[in-house]
Amino acid sequence: MSMSAARPRWFVAGDLNGFFGLVVDNLSILGFIAAALVGIFGFPAEVVFTRMFPGTAFGVLVGNLIYTAMARRLALRSGRDDVTAMPLGLDAPTSIGMALLVLGPAFAGFKAQGMDEAVAATATWQLGMASLMVMGTLKLVLSFAGDAITRLVPRAALLGSIGGAALMLLGFLPLIETLRSPVVGFATFGLLLYVLVARGPLPVRIPGVLLAFIVGTALYYGLGLAGLGAPGFRVPDALPLALTPPWPGLGFVDGLPYTVPYLSLLLPFGLLMVVGGINVAESARAAGDDYRTRDVLLAEAVSTLVAGLCGGVAQTTPYIGQPAYKHMGARIGYTLLTGLFVGIGGMLGIVSGLVQWLPLAVLAPIIVYVGLDITVQAFHSTRREHALAVALAFLPAIAYLLVIKLGNPALIEPARFAELYAHGEGSGLPELATIVVLGNGFIITAMLWASALVAMVEQRMRLAAAWWLLAAVLTLFGVIHSVHPQGGVYLPGALEGLARTIAWQFAAGYAALALLLGLLSLQKHKPGA
């Protein structure tokens, strides 16, 4: 390692490896967003590729330029030539969550309200922009208080809540899409497990993920053109290259009212990115690159806000793999190359063209892997005695997974869904209503449950009671356990009939548990007990 004050080189050989890895990560997430919106929800492809993608890609450009500048400044200040820039890209859990839990359902809901498809698509786009502005603003504010958050909320609660979402929504849902084309899906997924989990050797010197994509895509089109592929194969229509600059605008303002039913998802999404940014900064520091945590957080907040202002719909985040990029020889140039490729490619339609030709059965397996990796990390990064709290945090996500499937009008007609929601068999609340209410606000619910259980494990019963009381209050306003099937918030006095009964029953349940724990905390511990 050189300690001279010589200017660091902009590019080294290892930057090419880092560039391929970071670009593939971003393209796979963009590809899944497009495949989910267009393929699953029937969203107009033109809106995705020419309105949503340019601004989203521009956020990646801005964030990577900032991180490149930070790395060069650190290298100049320290006199080192082995400084590695912080990798930035689209966050997999929240980007896919935006597609599957916010944008797709919102588009279906707007059409159900009688909106024309084009009008519904524009409203959904505005909702996506507004969502980024909400999350970016939250990240901007919390970037100055990130450490306080990590002290207040246990790691088991933060990682368990996203671990449940990862396993159910990033693991299970994309797995279904993977296996809808079994030959392509199994081959791609198996190759990814070989290179990423088993770390097996390859006969060619290219990134393993890129090889899996090439093999999967070749299989998909080869089998499809030979008439041996899965049903519904078709060659996509070629998109002409066109300049679509991500001009800043105020379209997000019209989308702000649409964000209200989704705040119980959007606010945890933003909070988790702040915590993730803190962990990433610590990880880079352990690898020898001492970036200021606040600067790392501010950069991701700014790039998210810029993306939202320019029409983007997926938030950016620093990736946890900074030490891995350092080990593969990447330094400063790979983030600059990635930012320019994704940002300029997004404006020219190159990114959209590449993404359109990547089949869902090829993209989905990498998302399944990401989901599994995040789930495992939730257990590995928490104390052993808190493992049950992590597992407990998974359960609300299972309920939301069922809500996604049962709420699909193609599976259950809306009239039948409403009937099952209002009437149940036997005693107690209707079963479907209970599933829906448990699933609504599932990330915050998971955080509260895990936080309370961690406090109980640590014999801090009054703190546990406080967490349960907070859950009772949030229940009354629909922040968690919203009685509206769409998950909207409300004032307690506005509820009537069964909805009122459900809300007050759930809130009373939390309050009763808090009271019990409060009484138990009054016990005097016997010496030696």
pLDDT in tens, 454-476: 999 999 999 999 999 999 999 99
Instruction: Return the pLDDT at 107.
Output: 94
Instruction: Return the pLDDT at 348.
Output: 87
CA–CA separation, 148 vs 361, rounded Å?
41
Pair (305, 211) in one structural domain: no
pLDDT for residue 5 is more than 70: no
* Residue 265 falls inside a structural domain: yes
Q: 474-504 b/e with 16+ CB inside 10 Å = b?
A: bbbebbbbbbebebebbeeeebeebbeebbb
- Residue predicted with more confidence, 496 or 238: 496
The gap from C-alpha 435 to its chain's centroid, in whole angstroms, comes to 22
Q: Write phi, then psi, for 89 (nearest 5 degrees).
A: -165, -170
* Residue 271 falls inside a structural domain: yes
Nearest to 47 by CA among 138, 124, 104: 124
Pair (145, 198) in one structural domain: no
Instruction: Return the pLDDT at 150.
Output: 66
* Residue 362 falls inside a structural domain: no
pLDDT for residue 25 is more than 60: yes
Instruction: Return the pLDDT at 177.
Output: 84
Nearest to 53 by CA among 342, 288, 306: 342
- Residue predicted with more confidence, 413 or 266: 266
Strands 316-318 and 88-90: antiparallel
- Find the domain containing 105 and state its range: 13-171+257-357
CA–CA separation, 49 vs 305, rounded Å?
20
Q: Alpha carbon of 303 to those of 68, 244, 286, 299, 421: distances in Å?
A: 13, 19, 25, 6, 41
Provide the pLDDT confidence category of residue 4 given band limits of 50, 70 and 90.
Answer: very low
Pair (156, 67) in one structural domain: yes
pLDDT for residue 503 is more than 60: yes
Provide the pLDDT confidence category of residue 16 given band limits of 50, 70 and 90.
Answer: confident
Instruction: Return the pLDDT at 526.
Output: 58
Q: What's this model's pTM, rounded to 2 decimal places?
A: 0.76
Nearest to 416 by CA among 401, 432, 429: 432
Percent of the residues in the chain that have a pLDDT greater than 70, as a whole number: 95
* Residue 378 falls inside a structural domain: no
Q: Alpha carbon of 174 to those of 8, 53, 169, 216: distances in Å?
A: 42, 21, 7, 15
Burial of 113 (0-12, 13-18, 19+ CB in 10 A): exposed
Nearest to 26 by CA among 317, 324, 297: 317
Pair (127, 92) in one structural domain: yes
Least confident of 264-268, 289-293, 480-484, 497-501: 264-268
pLDDT in tens, 359-384: 888 888 877 887 787 788 788 878 89
When divided into structural domains, the chain yields a total of 3
* Residue 364 falls inside a structural domain: no
Nearest to 485 by CA among 413, 437, 415, 426: 437
184 CB-side CA count, 13 A: 29
Instruction: Return the pLDDT at 2.
Output: 43
* Residue 480 falls inside a structural domain: yes
342 CB-side CA count, 13 A: 36
Instruction: Tell me which DSSP letter residue 42 carries.
Output: -
Pair (194, 140) in one structural domain: no
pLDDT in tens, 321-354: 677 778 777 889 899 999 999 999 988 888 888 8
Average pLDDT, the chain: 86
Instruction: Determine which helix (DSSP H) or strand (DSSP E) holds 90, and give its type and residue range.
Output: strand 88-90
Cα angle vertex 480, ends 463, 170, to 5°? 105
Pair (389, 498) in one structural domain: yes
Q: 89: helix, coil or strand?
A: strand
* Residue 529 falls inside a structural domain: no
The gap from C-alpha 159 to its chain's centroid, in whole angstroms, comes to 13
Pair (338, 279) in one structural domain: yes
Provide the pLDDT confidence category of residue 514 given band limits of 50, 70 and 90.
Answer: very high
The distance between the two most distant Cα atoms of the chain, rounded to a whole number of Å, is 78
Of 132-141, 164-173, 361-370, 412-421, where does the model show the most confidence?
132-141
Pair (89, 164) in one structural domain: yes
Instruction: Return the pLDDT at 40.
Output: 82
Instruction: Return the pLDDT at 354.
Output: 80
The distance in angstroms from the start CA to the end CA of the chain is: 56
pLDDT for residue 84 is more than 80: yes
Pair (59, 191) in one structural domain: no
Nearest to 162 by CA among 478, 399, 390: 390
Pair (137, 217) in one structural domain: no
Q: Alpha carbon of 71 to those of 137, 140, 190, 218, 342: distances in Å?
A: 25, 21, 36, 38, 20
The gap from C-alpha 48 to its chain's centroid, in whole angstroms, comes to 18
- Residue predicted with more confidence, 128 or 144: 128
* Residue 247 falls inside a structural domain: no
Instruction: Return the pLDDT at 57.
Output: 94
Instruction: Return the pLDDT at 350.
Output: 85
Q: Write phi, then psi, for 113 (nearest 5 degrees).
A: -80, -5
CA–CA separation, 304 vs 132, rounded Å?
6
Pair (452, 308) in one structural domain: no
Provide the pLDDT confidence category of residue 270 given band limits of 50, 70 and 90.
Answer: confident
Instruction: Return the pLDDT at 528.
Output: 47
Alpha helices in 84-116 (DSSP H): 92-97, 104-112
Q: Which residue has the tokens 């099937």?
A: 485
pLDDT for residue 1 is more than 50: no
Tokens of 418: 């409403």
Pair (440, 329) in one structural domain: no
